Amino acid sequence: MSKNSVFTWLFFLSVSFGNAVHAAPTLEEKSTPLSAETPSGKFIGTLDIRPSDVFKDTDSFRMENSVSFGYRFPSQAKLIFQQELWSNLSSSPTLPGAPQGTLFARDGFFSLTTDQFWKSEDGAWFTIYEGRAYLPTFAARRDAGMVTAIRNYFTLGRKLTPWATLAVTETPVAHIFTNNAFNGKANPLFENRFQIKASFTLTSQLTLGLPLIWQSTKMRVSAGASKSGIWDNFIWINPELFYALDSNYTVGLAYYDLGGLTKNDLSDLQIMEGLRDGVVQFIFKASL
């Protein structure tokens, strides 16, 4: 399948289901799956394998994998550690981090999630909280002086129909660095993320998520550094289609854009240009 046909199919899915359109981008951001059941306490773990192709760059092919392990408490709270493990399979300069063919660590973080700690009596409204503390496991960010990033995800959702859910997530992020700038570029100070996501249960096994994310980052002040002191905006999408083979194995397709759908100062739209500069992913997940 050509990259043009894969992209066209994913974009058609995004438009067809309501125009509600997903690290990365900067620090990987993956949404917490919704769960309606209350399982017993148990150890959990997931291996996520994602062969990924940069749509605009025919020479860039990589693996964006991750592994997580932790414990889910009977109350539905879960504590995990997740580590991204990427590999640059081509010589393209679009993926900094390691030489071609080398497996290297990207972002790693501890996560505490409470699924639906509040919901309405009819079950239509629900809330989710997730807190993350990032470690400087990615060499490029560690070299820039990163100590940690603290994220707090606050989600309010509503089940619109038995098969459609709409959720909004507000995420303040504190970036802690030892340096104001590195290699002539200002480091981030504070970031706010706002996401609106439409989710569809198409069949008992097939689900579609269509998030639209707006990141607004206040950069540190450093004389002579690029982006010093500005608010840097990045609006992007990350549609994901998953098919559950059984309770332990899932396959899927995903896309996220790298260029953003607007200029970073929000002065103009660049939707088609932004969509052409993105990453197409094939997904295989195995979980305990």
Q: Where are the domains of the chain?
A: 3-287
CA–CA separation, 59 and 69 (whole Å): 33
For residue 269, CA distances in Å to 31, 106, 219, 272 come to: 25, 30, 22, 9
Considering the segment(s) 3-287 as one domain, its CATH architecture is Beta Barrel (2.40)
Q: What angle do CA 233, 91, 3 make, to 5 degrees?
A: 65
CA–CA separation, 219 and 214 (whole Å): 16
Give the per-residue pLDDT at 39: 52
Give the per-residue pLDDT at 60: 77
Give the per-residue pLDDT at 71: 97
pLDDT tens by residue, the chain, 288 residues: 444 444 444 444 443 433 433 334 444 444 444 444 445 689 999 999 999 998 876 667 889 999 999 999 988 899 999 999 998 887 665 555 666 677 899 999 999 999 878 899 998 999 999 999 999 999 999 999 999 999 999 999 999 999 999 999 999 999 999 999 999 999 999 999 999 999 999 999 999 999 999 999 999 999 999 999 999 999 999 999 999 999 999 999 999 999 899 999 999 999 999 999 999 999 999 999
CA–CA separation, 215 and 205 (whole Å): 31
With beta carbons less than 8 A apart as the criterion, state whether 154 and 187 touch.
no
Give the per-residue pLDDT at 185: 97
Give the per-residue pLDDT at 58: 64
pTM: 0.83
Tokens 């070299």 locate to 143
Give the per-residue pLDDT at 9: 45
Q: How many CA atoms lie within 13 A of 248 on its CB side?
A: 3
Give the per-residue pLDDT at 91: 66
Give the per-residue pLDDT at 97: 60
Q: Dihedrals φ, ψ of 96, to 5°? A: -70, 155
